[in-house]
Chains A and B, each alone.
Chain A
C-alpha cells in the first residue's frame, strides 16, 4: 500500500492511540509513560517524513474519505507548506517538551495522566493543522480546548489551576462555538467544506452578503484561542499549568492555532477594510497591552504570559496589514517566537524547579548558581527583545518595515509605526528585566535551598532551541529560508513575493526604530521605579478575572433562574409544562392551515350496541378519575376500559389486537393489584383547588384536541402503503395473517427492537426488586384484617387441571399465528397467564418446586433465537432477518407449512413469557416475603 495515501490520518490519530499506551505504561514504570510518548512522537514524525518533500516540490497532498457526505463532512487531511510548518513545530517542540517534562514532574505527580493528556493534545493540534475539511478542523479545534483544560487543571488540588482551566475552557469554548458558526457560514457561501474549494473561492466570499458575519464569527474563534484583546486575560491564568504545558500549549502551539487560522484563511478573508480594522485593531491593542503589562509582573511565568500575548498581537497585527510581505513576516515571527518563547518557559520552569519560587523579587543573582541556564536565558531573552544576530531581530525588523508601509494608508496611520515602536520599547524593557532581575541584581532573597544547575537532560531541549535562535539569527538563508518559503507559499496559495532575509539592509527607517526601541527600552528599565508607581496607581486595579467571575456568576444566576421557572424539582410541574406546551404548540400548528377542519369522507353510521358500549367506556374512564383516590375501585374500573377496547378491536376487524389486549389486560391488572398491596390504599385529598381546576382544564383541552385530531384524520381519504403487505404476505412471507407476517417478517427488525425493550423492562423490574423491603399493611382502610386464606382449595384444584389446557391453547395459538389470528406475542401472553395463575392459586414456593425454569433463561434464549434467525439469513447471503418457508407433508396431520419466521416468533414467545412471568413472580415474592416477616404462622402453613 502506498504510504502517501494514508499517512496523514495516521500521523493525527497516532498520538490519540499512543495516549492510551502512555497511560497504561505508567502503571509499569513511572518513566515508561515519558518514553512511550517520546516514541509515539518520533513515530508520528516518521510517518510524516515521506510526505515532507511534497510541499517543497509545490504539491499539496490531500487524503480524503467520505464521512457524512450529505452534510459536507469528509474525513480529509491536507499537507501544504503551512500545514507542514505547523506539524513540524508541533512534533519537534512536542518532543523537546516531553524530554523536559520527564525531568520536570515531581515523583508524586501522575506521569501517565500527564503524558496521556499531552499526547491527546498533540493529536488534536495536528488534526487542526492537517485538516482538509473545515468541519473536521472545528472538531479538532474543540478537542484542543478540552485537552488544554485537562492540562491546565493537571494539578487538580490547586484552586488556581482549577479556576484557570475553567476560565480557559469557557473562553476558548465560546470561541469554538463562534468558529463553528463562522465555518458553517463559510461552507454555505462556498458550497463546500473542503479547504481546497474554500481557498479557491476568495473573491466569492469577500463580495458575499454574509461576509461580515462570517468574518466576525471566525475572528471570535481566532481571538479567543490566540488570546487577543479583549479575550487575552485567560492566558495568564492558564499559567497555573505545569511549566512544560505552558511552554508547549501557551507559547508554541495552541495559542498559535488562532494565528494558524488567520494564515489558513488569509487568501479567503483578507484584503478588505473590515479585515484590516478588526484584525489589525485587535492585534495592535493586544501588542501594546501585553508589552506594557509584562514589565510589571513579578511572576516569571506571568511576565512570559503577557509577553506571549504581546507577540501574538504582533503576529495578528501583521496579518491585519493584509499585504503579502506582512504575511511573510508573520509566518517568520511564528517560527521565531515558538523557539525563543518555548526555551524561556523552560528556563522559568528550571528556575522554579531549582529554587522553589518564580517571584522575581526573591530571585536575584542566579548567574552564580546556574551559569549555563543563565546563558541560555540571556540569549533567548535578547532574541525576544529583538537584538541583532538573533532570530527575533529579523522578524521584528520585517515587522517594523511593514508598519512603516502601513503608515501610508490614511491620515492617522502614521500612529502605527509610533505605537509599534512604543511596544518595542516595552518589550526590550521586560526582556531586560527578565535578565537583570533574575540573574544579576544582588543575592537571592529568602530561598529555602541553594539553587544549582538542573539535570543535564533537562537543559538539552533549551540548548537546542537556543542554538536554533542563534542559527536562524546569524544564518537565516541556510536555516529557516526553505521552510519559510514553502510555508508562505502554503499560506498565500501563490508564489511568495520577493523578500530578503539579510541581516543588514543599510540605514533604514526600520533599523532606526529598532535602535530607538533598544535604547529607550534600556532607559525605561533604568527608570522602572517611576513606571511601577504609575502602573500601581492606575492599572493594577483592573482585574479581568474579577469581571469574568462576576459575568460568570450573573450568567449562572440567569440560567438558574430560567431553569427554576420550568424545573422546580417536581414531576407534576414538569408534566404540566410538557402537556400544556404540546397542547399550545399543536393548536398553533393547526391554526396555520387554511383548509377546512374536517374532510369529505363519508362517515359510518353508529349501531346502538356499539354506541352503548362506547358510552360505557367513557363513563368508566371518567369514573376512574372520579374515584381515583380509592385505588382498588379505580383499578377495577380501569379494567372495564381495557376490556371494552378489546371488544372494539373485535368489532373493527382486528382479531390479533383483541387477543393481545385481552391477555395484556389480565396481566396488567394482576400486576397492579400485587403492587397496590404495598402502596397506600387511598390517595390523600388534595387541598389546592386551583391546581385541580388547572389540571382539569389542561386535561379537557387535551381531550378536545385529540378528539378533533382524530376526526380530522378519519374524515379524510387516505392512500395506505399496506396494499404491498397484503399482496406480498402469501407469496413473500408464506402466511395469510398479514399482521403476523408484518411482525415477524416485513418489519421483523422493529419487532426485534421491541422484544429487546420488553426484555429490558423485565430485567429492570427484577433488578429494582432485588433486596427491596416494604412493610405489608395489616388491614385495609376499613380496618378489616387481610385474609390469610391465601390459596383457596377449589381454585387450586381447578387451576392445576386447567394448566395443560391453557398451555395447549397457547401452543395452538402460536402455531396458527402465521395464518390465522395469533402468534408469538399472543401465545406468550396466554402462556404467561397460565403460569401466573398457578403462582397465584398455589403459592410461589409450591409452583417453583414444580416449575424449575429460571425466567432469565427464557428471556435470554428468546433473544438469542430471534437474533440467530436473522444471522442465519445473513450467513446465507440474504439481508438480516430474511425469512424462507416451505411446505412439508406430515403423516396424519397433512400438508404443513414451515416458515423460518416461526423460529423468530418462538424467540418473541420466549421473551414475552420470560419478561411477563418474571415481573409478576418477583412482585409476588415480595409480598410472600413480607407475609413471612409479619405472620410466622403463614410461613409454616406454606411450607406444609
Chain B
C-alpha cells in the first residue's frame, strides 16, 4: 500500500513538474494544481496510512490516526484553491494585456499557424488571424454593426 501511495505521489509530481515547465499559462496552472495534489497527499502521508481510525474521539476506541497533518492539509487544500484562482485570473490578465497566453508574455506570430498544423481543421475564419485580440474585438464589433449575423446564430 505504501508503495502504491508513494508511486501515486511520484507520478503526480512528475506530471505536475512537466506541465509546470510548459510555455502556456493554462498547462502551467494545471501543472501547479497537480503539484498541489501531490504535496497535499505527501503531507497527509506523513501521518502514515491508517484505515478506519478517523481522529474523532469515541469512548470505546483507543487508536486514532494522526490529526495534525490532516489539519495542515485541510487548509492547504483551500489555499491551493485560492492560489489557482489567482493564477488563472493572472493568466487572463496577461492575455488581455499582452495579447497572448505565453508565460513570458511573448507573442509568437507562428502560434496560430502551428495550431493550424497540429489540430483538426476548422472553419475558415479570417478574423482569427488578427494579431492582437483587441484588433479581433474591433473587427468583431465592426462586423456585428455592419452585417447582422443573428440569422446564423439562431440556426
**In the assembled complex, which residues on chain A have CB atoms less than 8 Å from the CB atom of B58?**
736
With an 8 A cutoff between CB atoms, is A707 at the interface? yes
Given contacts A699-B15, A704-B10, A720-B66, contact A648 B41 (CB under 8 A): yes
With an 8 A cutoff between CB atoms, is B129 at the interface? no
**Are B81 and A937 within 8 A (Cβ)?**
no
**Are A652 and B49 within 8 A (Cβ)?**
yes
**In the assembled complex, which residues on chain B have CB atoms less than 8 Å from the CB atom of A579?**
17, 20-21
**Are B26 and A726 within 8 A (Cβ)?**
no
Bound complex: CA of A629 vs CA of B119, how far in Å? Answer: 9
Bound complex: CA of A697 vs CA of B125, how far in Å? Answer: 39
Given contacts A696-B18, A722-B68, A915-B82, contact A678 B153 (CB under 8 A): no
With an 8 A cutoff between CB atoms, is A936 at the interface? yes
Given contacts A621-B12, A714-B45, contact A772 B93 (CB under 8 A): yes
Chain A proximity of B94: nearest CB distance (Å): 10
Bound complex: CA of A638 vs CA of B32, how far in Å? Answer: 11
Bound complex: CA of A914 vs CA of B24, how far in Å? Answer: 30
Given contacts A685-B114, A768-B93, contact A739 B150 (CB under 8 A): no
- Chain B residue with Cβ nearest A935: B153
- Chain A residue with Cβ nearest B49: A652
With an 8 A cutoff between CB atoms, is A581 at the interface? no
**Are B30 and A628 within 8 A (Cβ)?**
yes
- Chain B residue with Cβ nearest A736: B57
Within 8 A of B (CB), among A775-825: 775, 778-779, 781-783, 785, 788, 819-821, 825
With an 8 A cutoff between CB atoms, is A605 at the interface? yes
Within 8 A of B (CB), among A665-681: 667-668, 671-672, 675-676, 678-680
Bound complex: CA of A684 vs CA of B100, how far in Å? Answer: 12
Bound complex: CA of A615 vs CA of B37, how far in Å? Answer: 16
**In the assembled complex, which residues on chain B have CB atoms less than 8 Å from the CB atom of A251?**
none
- Chain A residue with Cβ nearest B88: A675
Bound complex: CA of A295 vs CA of B89, how far in Å? Answer: 68
Chain A proximity of B152: nearest CB distance (Å): 8
Chain A proximity of B126: nearest CB distance (Å): 12
Bound complex: CA of A936 vs CA of B20, how far in Å? Answer: 39
Bound complex: CA of A64 vs CA of B43, how far in Å? Answer: 46
With an 8 A cutoff between CB atoms, is A683 at the interface? yes
With an 8 A cutoff between CB atoms, is A642 at the interface? yes
Given contacts A652-B51, A772-B92, contact A937 B150 (CB under 8 A): yes
With an 8 A cutoff between CB atoms, is B2 at the interface? yes
Given contacts A572-B104, A603-B1, A679-B95, contact A738 B15 (CB under 8 A): no
Given contacts A648-B41, A714-B48, contact A739 B70 (CB under 8 A): yes
**Are B118 and A762 within 8 A (Cβ)?**
no
With an 8 A cutoff between CB atoms, is A520 at the interface? no
**Are B15 and A730 within 8 A (Cβ)?**
no
Bound complex: CA of A665 vs CA of B105, how far in Å? Answer: 29
On chain B, which size bracket covers the interface?
A: 35 or more
**In the assembled complex, which residues on chain B have CB atoms less than 8 Å from the CB atom of A606?**
1, 3-4
Given contacts A685-B114, A714-B45, A768-B93, contact A706 B56 (CB under 8 A): no
With an 8 A cutoff between CB atoms, is B142 at the interface? no
**Are B101 and A680 within 8 A (Cβ)?**
yes
Given contacts A645-B41, A919-B85, A937-B150, contact A624 B30 (CB under 8 A): yes
Q: Which of B21, B68, B81 contacts A667 (CB 8 A)?
A: B81
Given contacts A657-B74, A765-B89, A934-B140, contact A774 B96 (CB under 8 A): yes
From A312-320, A498-506, A747-755, the one touching the partner chain is A747-755
**In the assembled complex, which residues on chain B have CB atoms less than 8 Å from the CB atom of A714?**
2, 5-6, 45, 48-49
With an 8 A cutoff between CB atoms, is A653 at the interface? yes
**In the assembled complex, which residues on chain A have CB atoms less than 8 Å from the CB atom of B83?**
761
**In the assembled complex, which residues on chain B have CB atoms less than 8 Å from the CB atom of A711?**
2-3, 6
Q: How many residues of A contact B (CB 8 A)?
A: 126
Bound complex: CA of A571 vs CA of B101, how far in Å? Answer: 13
Bound complex: CA of A605 vs CA of B122, how far in Å? Answer: 51
Q: Which of B15, B27, B55, B75 contacts A750 (CB 8 A)?
A: B75
Bound complex: CA of A408 vs CA of B56, how far in Å? Answer: 89
**Are B51 and A742 within 8 A (Cβ)?**
no
Bound complex: CA of A706 vs CA of B67, how far in Å? Answer: 23
- Chain A residue with Cβ nearest B86: A761
**In the assembled complex, which residues on chain B have CB atoms less than 8 Å from the CB atom of A743?**
71, 74-75
Task: Write out, one digit per residue, whether chain B residues 34-66 have a CB within 8 A of any chain A CB (1) or not (0).
Answer: 100110111011111111111111100000111
With an 8 A cutoff between CB atoms, is A584 at the interface? no
Chain B proximity of A247: nearest CB distance (Å): 52
Task: Write out, one digit per residue, whether chain A residues 882-917 have a CB within 8 A of any chain B CB (1) or not (0).
Answer: 000000000000000000000000000000100110
Bound complex: CA of A631 vs CA of B29, how far in Å? Answer: 11
Given contacts A680-B115, A933-B137, contact A625 B15 (CB under 8 A): yes
Bound complex: CA of A565 vs CA of B92, how far in Å? Answer: 30
Bound complex: CA of A128 vs CA of B25, how far in Å? Answer: 52
Within 8 A of B (CB), among A525-582: 569-572, 575-576, 579
Given contacts A657-B77, A779-B123, contact A679 B91 (CB under 8 A): yes
Bound complex: CA of A350 vs CA of B50, how far in Å? Answer: 86
**Are A572 and B103 within 8 A (Cβ)?**
yes
Given contacts A722-B68, A726-B57, A769-B89, contact A618 B7 (CB under 8 A): yes
Given contacts A605-B1, A672-B88, A751-B75, contact A758 B82 (CB under 8 A): yes
Bound complex: CA of A511 vs CA of B148, how far in Å? Answer: 108
- Chain A residue with Cβ nearest B104: A570
**Are A652 and B65 within 8 A (Cβ)?**
yes
**Are B26 and A683 within 8 A (Cβ)?**
yes
With an 8 A cutoff between CB atoms, is A725 at the interface? yes
**In the assembled complex, which residues on chain B have CB atoms less than 8 Å from the CB atom of A704?**
10, 14
With an 8 A cutoff between CB atoms, is A686 at the interface? yes
**Are B74 and A912 within 8 A (Cβ)?**
no
**Are A621 and B15 within 8 A (Cβ)?**
yes
Bound complex: CA of A624 vs CA of B12, how far in Å? Answer: 10
Bound complex: CA of A577 vs CA of B23, how far in Å? Answer: 15
**Are B48 and A737 within 8 A (Cβ)?**
no
**Are B73 and A825 within 8 A (Cβ)?**
no
Interface-central residue, B18, B23, B49, by most chain A CB under 10 Å? B18
With an 8 A cutoff between CB atoms, is A507 at the interface? no
Given contacts A617-B8, A714-B48, A934-B144, contact A571 B120 (CB under 8 A): no
**In the assembled complex, which residues on chain B have CB atoms less than 8 Å from the CB atom of A778?**
125, 127, 140
Given contacts A700-B14, A710-B45, contact A678 B95 (CB under 8 A): yes
Chain A proximity of B96: nearest CB distance (Å): 5
- Chain B residue with Cβ nearest A714: B2
**Are B21 and A685 within 8 A (Cβ)?**
no
Bound complex: CA of A575 vs CA of B17, how far in Å? Answer: 9
In the assembled complex, 21 residue pairs joining A and B whose CB atoms fall closer than 8 Å, in A order, are A569-B104, A575-B20, A607-B1, A618-B11, A628-B27, A641-B12, A657-B77, A661-B77, A664-B77, A679-B26, A699-B21, A700-B14, A702-B13, A703-B11, A714-B6, A742-B67, A751-B75, A761-B85, A765-B86, A779-B125, A783-B123
B-binding residues in A (CB < 8 A) = 569-572, 575-576, 579, 603-607, 610-611, 614, 617-618, 621-622, 624-625, 628-629, 631, 634-635, 638, 641-642, 645, 648-649, 651-657, 660-661, 664, 667-668, 671-672, 675-676, 678-680, 682-687, 695-696, 698-700, 702-704, 706-708, 710-711, 713-715, 718, 720-722, 725-726, 729-730, 736-739, 742-743, 747, 750-751, 754, 757-758, 761-762, 764-765, 768-769, 772-775, 778-779, 781-783, 785, 788, 819-821, 825, 829, 912, 915-916, 919, 923, 926, 933-937
A-binding residues in B (CB < 8 A) = 1-15, 17-30, 33-34, 37-38, 40-42, 44-58, 64-68, 70-71, 73-75, 77-86, 88-93, 95-96, 101, 103-104, 110-112, 114-115, 117-120, 122-123, 125, 127, 133-134, 136-137, 140-141, 144, 150, 152-153
The 4 A-B pairs with the shortest beta carbon distances in the complex, nearest first, are: A703-B14, A707-B10, A761-B82, A783-B123
Extra contacts, 18 of them, besides A641-B34, A661-B77 (Cβ < 8 A), are A571-B103, A579-B21, A617-B12, A622-B11, A625-B15, A664-B77, A679-B91, A685-B117, A714-B6, A720-B47, A742-B68, A761-B82, A774-B133, A781-B120, A819-B56, A821-B56, A825-B74, A934-B140
